[in-house]
Amino acid sequence: MTAPRFDSAAVAAALGARGVTFLGAGTFGDTWRVDDRAVKIICAEGYLPQRVAREVAGLSRVRSPYVVQLIDTKTVSLGGKDFPALVFEYVSGGDLQQAIDNSRIPEPDQASALLVGLLTGVRDLHRADGTVHRDVKPANVALRDGAWNQPVLLDLGLARANTETTVTIYPGLLGTTAFMAPEQLAGRRARKAADLFAVGVSVRAALVGRHPFYEPGSSYTIDEAIAKISAGPVALPPNTPELVRDVLDRLVQPAEYERGSATSNLRRLGIAE
Amino acid sequence: MTDNWFDESDEWSDEPDDAAQDDTKIESDIESKVSDTATGERQIATLPDGRYLVLTGPGAGSALLDGTGSTEARTSIPTRDEALLTGALPMMLVHRPHQAAGVTPRLLASIVAATQGGVSLGVSAMLPSASESAITQWLSEHPAAALRLADPGCYLMDPTIVRNKPLSERTLRWAPYLGREVLDMRELLDHQRNVGANLLLSPGRALDPTNPQDSLDEAFAAADDAISELNAGERLALNLTMSTQWLTSTTLREALFAQLVDQEQFDLWHIRVQWPASLRAFQQPSDASLLGGYKRLAQLASDEERQLLLPQTGLTGWLQLGFGAAGFGAGPFGVGQAFKEHSQGGGGGNTPVPRYFEPTLLHYVERSVHDALSSQPDYETCDCPYCPALLADADWDHELARLHGLHWLGRLAALPTTSGRSIEAAIRRTVRTARRAAERQPLADISSPQHLRAWDPLL
């Protein structure tokens, strides 16, 4: 795990808490657990205030059990500087990345429930004035109480537009570019279809225990990565339910429109409005 | 003699200023020739507002407050929202003709009567085509229509993208917004409201294939502006106009489709694609990539549960019902059946070729061919209200022939109801039957339904 940008004692003091636990570091900040809350302190150099505003605005519009609940926003003073902080519910049970790292492979019905939960979360986000997550990946999917059927989308809206020139598949599938849709890799705008692609890649990764397009430990140019995606994913386990297989195949299509919408994919899985 | 029944001289922009007077005369001529029942019995259907629509007999096409003395058909006219429900009946829009506009109310009633309400009907008028009062009157005269559209036709502002006649002073008088630098969305919507439209449209500027993403963004942003101006209970369709490249080029098609899927706030798509000027009258496009693009568009709409309306497409639009389109548009004249590039070399003034729509061939054949076909023992004579007079008279009545063809497009749209099959199966069967029938006949030149061969691989 990447080290926090500030030590825990300073963070606890700044938050007025008796103790804090470091949960992880993201592109723009660190997340700490404080009692039953998770506090994300936006403390990295170069963050854009409008991105924070976008996350706050997006999350404020969403009420979904599959999207982390934003409780409050505040300003935190650390190292003589003021930083914005977002206070969320703390979702216990670990995240999808940890499940993959621990070789927890979902059973077919659990995979179906995971997919439905993620698509529902994405649908609820997209319905909130067209909010797009832009950074769906296993590390940003909490499993409430460790349950496959209760995925919760975390860390909305802070992903940078892609300026990377390579896609590196680090051990444990860390890194944002590994879950980017081809249009994001190519530097084009990330739309709703990009979230659907990332859901497809994340669920496939959970099912097969590895990235569905890239070899572990490899590094690809953007063109090579896009070619890998065009070549198609590794096969799903043979016991994957047909409806789940159909939807997962759609979600990782290179052409955005072929992925459909979250709503239409939920319908394909038999989930009515 | 030229094949100009559908030629450029029939465009709405040629409508004379005294069109209303023409309507009165022609309507009365037609009225005296139509025979929708053998007995003259008046049949009625219930309208959403509690009144009755006269389907057959005296006053067919008009509304009555009291249905006493009439036979009530087992059908009712849907409301706008019922017509627009996902999975509802197929829709057919009838475009306002530039002349004889008074004949369409009866035509719509004849379709309801013949199909037992198996198709939801709409009427659509181009705002730049006539005065506000003429359009208001025409839209209000169709109680059989669940949908009333007043198309702003803003693609007329984009002559470098789609090929249209230059804007005339009269067009600008009827649609002054076309002359403005910047469109005022409220003005545009108010214009539609003022003439009685119940399904509003976004401007419909033409999408520029040389600047695809910016062009899409502008069109969708304008439609978003329109949504923000809606009043309670109003509905709006995303209105797009484009060249065929948008359906035939993979890059453009993917950009268009990605935007359509992404922008979920638009559940109704009103999409007009300009066909090449080289298509002859009554000729359906047979370009496989264009037809394939239409099919993918219709399938996309169906997959995503959006309602796709294809104005000015006639039989080609009807075919798309089988792939997932919700509705298509047609009219008595060429401009209603095909949105084609304007061609400088119109054949106006020439004598039109007498042609007749053969339902079993899905094609308009020359009259002489119809005469030969109808002399065959197994030929089934048409029972529409227009054919008794049309076929009895030695002089060909083009007006009746047009109405016969349009009536049949409505009946074809209602195939799921009248055949008991799914629309996909019903259309596939109808097209294949037509192709087999055509192969048995010595059809040539303009009487040959060449489109059927192009359609077959799509089915």
Whether B305 and chain A come into contact, CB under 8 Å, resolves to yes
CA dihedral sign, ordered B450, B451, B454, B459: negative
> A259 contacts in B (CB within 8 Å)?
261
Nearest-by-Cβ selection for B262 from A193, A263, A267: A193
Look at B261 and A256 and tell me if their CB atoms are within 8 Å: yes
| Closest CA of chain B from A203, distance in Å | 22
Choose between A103 and A158: higher pLDDT.
Answer: A103
Kindly state the percentage of chain A with pLDDT values over 90: 65
Taking alpha carbons only, the member of B328, B251, B268, B330 closest to residue B294 is: B328
Answer yes or no: is pLDDT of A178 > 70.
Answer: yes
| Closest CA of chain B from A192, distance in Å | 6
Taking alpha carbons only, the member of B91, B95, B140, B163 closest to residue B417 is: B91
Provide the pLDDT for residue B74: 83
User: How far is residue B313 CA from its own chain's centroid?
Assistant: 6
* Count of A-B CB contacts under 8 Å: 41
The DSSP result for A229-272, as a single string, is HHH-PPPPPTTS-HHHHHHHHHHT-SSGGGG--HHHHHHHTT--
> B305 contacts in A (CB within 8 Å)?
263-264, 267
> B263 contacts in A (CB within 8 Å)?
130
Residue range A102-122: mean pLDDT, rounded? 96
Classify B277 in phi/psi space as left (phi over 0), alpha (psi -120 to 50) or beta.
alpha
Answer yes or no: is pLDDT of B347 > 60.
Answer: no
The residue in chain B having the minimum alpha-carbon distance to the alpha carbon of residue A190 is B262
Whether B265 and chain A come into contact, CB under 8 Å, resolves to yes
Q: What is the ipTM of this complex?
A: 0.87
Look at A193 and B260 and tell me if their CB atoms are within 8 Å: no
Q: Which helix (DSSP H) or strand (DSSP E) does residue A53 occupy? A: helix A49-60
Nearest-by-Cβ selection for A260 from B254, B261, B265: B261
User: How far is residue A105 CA from its own chain's centroid?
Assistant: 18
Answer yes or no: is pLDDT of B26 > 70.
Answer: no
> B262 contacts in A (CB within 8 Å)?
191-193, 256
User: Poorest-confidence range of A170-184, A186-200, B299-313, B407-421?
Assistant: A170-184
> A126 contacts in B (CB within 8 Å)?
264
* Confidence band, pLDDT 50/70/90 cuts, at residue A172: very low
> A130 contacts in B (CB within 8 Å)?
263-265
Provide the pLDDT for residue A46: 67
**Mean of pLDDT over chain A:** 88
Answer yes or no: is pLDDT of B17 > 50.
Answer: no
Q: Which residues of A touch B (CB under 8 A)?
A: 126-127, 130, 191-193, 255-257, 259-261, 263-264, 267
Instruction: Please name the residues in contact with B209: beta carbons below 8 A apart, sequence gap of 6 or more.
Output: B161, B215, B242, B243, B245, B246, B249, B252
Nearest-by-Cβ selection for B303 from A191, A192, A260: A260
Cα torsion at A176, A182, A187, A189 (round to 10°)? -90
The residue in chain B having the minimum alpha-carbon distance to the alpha carbon of residue A257 is B258
| Closest CA of chain A from B261, distance in Å | 6
H helix count then E strand count, chain B: 18, 14
Q: Each residue of B352-373: pLDDT tens digit?
A: 889 999 999 999 999 999 999 9
Nearest-by-Cβ selection for A260 from B263, B265, B304: B304
Whether B456 and chain A come into contact, CB under 8 Å, resolves to no
Provide the pLDDT for residue A168: 53
Q: Give which of B257, B262, B267 to mutate to test A binding, by max A Cβ within 10 Å.
A: B262
Provide the pLDDT for residue B192: 98
| Closest CA of chain A from B305, distance in Å | 8
Which residue, chain included where needed, has tokens 């080609």? Answer: B316
Instruction: Please name the residues in contact with B371: beta carbons below 8 A apart, sequence gap of 6 or more.
Output: none
Provide the pLDDT for residue B345: 62
Residue range A4-30: mean pLDDT, rounded? 89
User: Poorest-confidence range of A146-160, A244-258, B380-394?
Assistant: A146-160
Provide the pLDDT for residue A26: 75
| Closest CA of chain B from A202, distance in Å | 21
Provide the pLDDT for residue A167: 58
Kindly state the percentage of chain B with pLDDT values over 70: 91
> A127 contacts in B (CB within 8 Å)?
264
Provide the pLDDT for residue A38: 93
Residue range A129-144: mean pLDDT, rounded? 90
Q: Are A142 and A38 in contact (CB under 8 A)?
A: no
User: Poorest-confidence range of A101-115, A132-146, B16-30, B180-194?
Assistant: B16-30
Answer yes or no: is pLDDT of A164 > 60.
Answer: no
pTM for this one?
Answer: 0.91
CA distance to A233, B8, B268, per residue, from B127 (Å): 51, 19, 20
User: Poorest-confidence range of A109-118, A218-227, A246-255?
Assistant: A218-227
> B258 contacts in A (CB within 8 Å)?
191, 193, 255-257
**Chain B 227-256, CB below 8 Å of chain A: which residues?**
254
Provide the pLDDT for residue B78: 96
Taking alpha carbons only, the member of A180, A202, A76 closest to residue A134 is: A180
User: Poorest-confidence range of A42-51, A110-119, A178-187?
Assistant: A42-51
Provide the pLDDT for residue A61: 83
> A128 contacts in B (CB within 8 Å)?
none
Q: Are B118 and B91 in contact (CB under 8 A)?
A: no
The residue in chain A having the minimum alpha-carbon distance to the alpha carbon of residue B250 is A255
Answer yes or no: is pLDDT of B254 > 80.
Answer: yes
> A181 contacts in B (CB within 8 Å)?
none
**Mean of pLDDT over chain B:** 90
| Closest CA of chain B from A262, distance in Å | 10
Residue range B115-122: mean pLDDT, rounded? 96
Provide the pLDDT for residue A55: 74
Look at B254 and A257 and tell me if their CB atoms are within 8 Å: yes
Look at A191 and B262 and tell me if their CB atoms are within 8 Å: yes
Answer yes or no: is pLDDT of A126 > 80.
Answer: yes
| Closest CA of chain A from B50, distance in Å | 32
Residue range A142-146: mean pLDDT, rounded? 96
Nearest-by-Cβ selection for B305 from A257, A259, A264: A264
Provide the pLDDT for residue A98: 93
> B264 contacts in A (CB within 8 Å)?
126-127, 130, 192, 261, 263
Answer yes or no: is pLDDT of A157 > 60.
Answer: no
| Closest CA of chain A from B304, distance in Å | 6
Q: Give which of A132, A257, A258 to mutate to test B binding, by max B Cβ within 10 Å.
A: A257
Look at B261 and A257 and tell me if their CB atoms are within 8 Å: yes
Q: Are B179 and B167 in contact (CB under 8 A)?
A: yes
Q: Are A67 and A153 in contact (CB under 8 A)?
A: yes
Q: Each residue of B161-209: pLDDT tens digit?
A: 999 989 999 999 999 999 998 999 999 999 999 999 999 999 999 999 9
CA–CA dist A10, A27 (Å, integer): 21
* Confidence band, pLDDT 50/70/90 cuts, at residue B334: confident
Classify B195 in phi/psi space as left (phi over 0), alpha (psi -120 to 50) or beta.
alpha
Choose between B67 and B304: higher pLDDT.
Answer: B304
CA–CA dist B331, A53 (Å, integer): 52
Nearest-by-Cβ selection for A257 from B258, B264, B305: B258
Kindly state the percentage of chain B with pLDDT values over 90: 78
Whether B190 and chain A come into contact, CB under 8 Å, resolves to no
| Closest CA of chain A from B275, distance in Å | 24
Nearest-by-Cβ selection for B261 from A127, A193, A267: A193
Q: Are A85 and A92 in contact (CB under 8 A)?
A: no
Answer yes or no: is pLDDT of A162 > 70.
Answer: no
| Closest CA of chain B from A34, distance in Å | 38
Look at B305 and A257 and tell me if their CB atoms are within 8 Å: no
**3-state secondary structure at position A99:** helix
Answer yes or no: is pLDDT of B16 > 80.
Answer: no
The residue in chain A having the minimum alpha-carbon distance to the alpha carbon of residue B260 is A257
* Confidence band, pLDDT 50/70/90 cuts, at residue B24: very low
| Closest CA of chain B from A167, distance in Å | 24
Answer yes or no: is pLDDT of B136 > 90.
Answer: yes
Q: What one-character DSSP code corresponds to residue B275?
A: B
